[in-house]
Amino acid sequence: MIPSLAVVITLSGALILDLIMGDPPNSFHPVAWMGWYIDLFWRYRPGIDKAREIQFIYGIALVVSGAALFSLPWIMFIYMNIPLLWLWSIPLLKVTFAVRGLVIAGNKVRRSLDKAELEEARRLAGRHMVSRRTDRLSAAEVASAAIESLAENITDGITAPLLFFALFGIPGAWAYRFCNTCDSMIGYRDQEHEYQGKFAAWLDMALNWLPARLTGLLIVAAAYLSGEDSRNSWLTMKNQHRRTASPNAGWSIAAMAGALGVRLEKAGSYRLEGGNGNPDAQVIKRSIRVVWWTTALVVFITLLIIGVLHGCS
C-alpha cells in the first residue's frame, strides 16, 4: 500500500472509531497504564531533602524512560512484516486523542445547567473537565470552566497528538501522550513536585508551543465557519493570550472567549474578556459547535502535513 494512503487510512479509521465508540474503559486505556508507570516511578523518588539537582535528574529519568517505554515498541512494530499493519494502527492512534469524550463532557455540564441542576453541573465539571474546586461556583462560573476546558483541551487532546502522528507516526503520538500525562500528574510547583516535576512541565510546554498557537488560529477560523465572531476571536486572542499563567493555554481560551463574545474567568488566575456576556448553557452549546469545526480544521492540516511528508512514493 502507498505509504501516504496507509497513514491517511489510519487517521480516518481512528477518527471514525473515536466518534463511534469514544474512549475505552480506564483499565484498557493506555493513559491509565502511563499513569500506573508514573505512580510506580514516583514511589521511589528521592526525598525533598535531597539536592535539587538529584530531584531534577530523577524527573528527567521518569519522563525519558516512560516516553521510550511507550513509544519504542511501536517503532519496531512499524518495521515488522505484519499483514494489514494500517488496520492495527487505527486503535493505536485512536487512544492518543479524544474528540467524542471531550464533547460528551461538555454536553453533560450543559444539560445540567439547562435543567438548573447547579450541584450536578458543578460535580460534572469538577469530575470531567477541570482540576479547580467547583463546589462553590456560580452557574456562570461553571459554564466558564466548561468552555475554558473545551478550548484548552483541543490543544493537548486533539491538535498535538494528531500533529505528532503526522510528523512521527504512532510512536510520536504515544510519546507525546506520555509526556502530557506526566505533566498533568507531576508538573506542579508545590514543594513535593517543584524540582522532580519541572522537566515534565518544561517539556510539555515546549511540545505544546506550536499546537497551542495553531489551535488558537484554527478556533478563529472555526468561529467564522460556525457563524460566531471571528474578528473578535482574533483580536481577543491577539491582545489577551498572555493573561493566563500558562504561555500556551491563553491562545485557545482567549480565541474561544472572543468567538463567543463572553468573559471566561478563573478566579484569582485570569480573566479573558471576549465581551460583556456571561456564559451559560447555550454558550456551551455554541462553544461545542466551534470545537467540532476546529477539529475538522485540525484534521485538514494533519492531512496536508501527511501529504507533504509522506508523499506517494
Region at 81 (left for phi over 0; alpha for psi -120 to 50; beta for the rest): beta
Q: Which three cell numbers stand for residue 29?
A: 486505556
Q: Tell me the C-alpha distance between 10 and 7, whole Å.
A: 5
The CB density around residue 250, as the number of other CB atoms within 10 Å, is: 23
The CB density around residue 210, as the number of other CB atoms within 10 Å, is: 14
Domains of the chain by residue range: 3-310
Sign of CA dihedral 219, 223, 228, 231: positive
- What pairs with residue 277 in β-bridges? 262
Alpha carbon separation from 66 to 41, 72, 245 (Å, rounded): 9, 10, 27
Q: Tell me the C-alpha distance between 177 and 5, whole Å.
A: 24
Q: Tell me the C-alpha distance between 264 and 269, whole Å.
A: 11
Summarised one tens digit per residue, pLDDT across range 61-118 is 999 999 999 998 888 776 666 666 667 889 999 999 999 999 999 999 999 999 999 9
Instruction: Report yes or no: 175 and 71 within 8 Å, Cβ to Cβ.
Output: yes
Pick from 303, 102, 76: which is nearest to 170 by CA? 76
Whether the per-residue pLDDT at 139 is higher than 70: the answer is yes
Count H helices, E strands: the chain? 13, 2
Kindly report the pTM of this predicted structure: 0.93
Q: Tell me the C-alpha distance between 174 and 14, whole Å.
A: 14
Whether the per-residue pLDDT at 1 is higher than 50: the answer is no
Summarised one tens digit per residue, pLDDT across range 145-203 is 999 999 999 999 999 999 999 999 999 999 999 999 999 999 988 888 889 999 999 99
pLDDT at 79: 67
- What pairs with residue 262 in β-bridges? 277
Computed over every residue of the chain, the mean pLDDT equals 92
Length of the chain in residues, anyone?
313
Compare 188 and 120 and report the one with higher pLDDT.
120
State the pLDDT confidence band at 313, using cuts at 50, 70 and 90: very low
Q: Which three cell numbers stand for residue 108?
A: 453533560
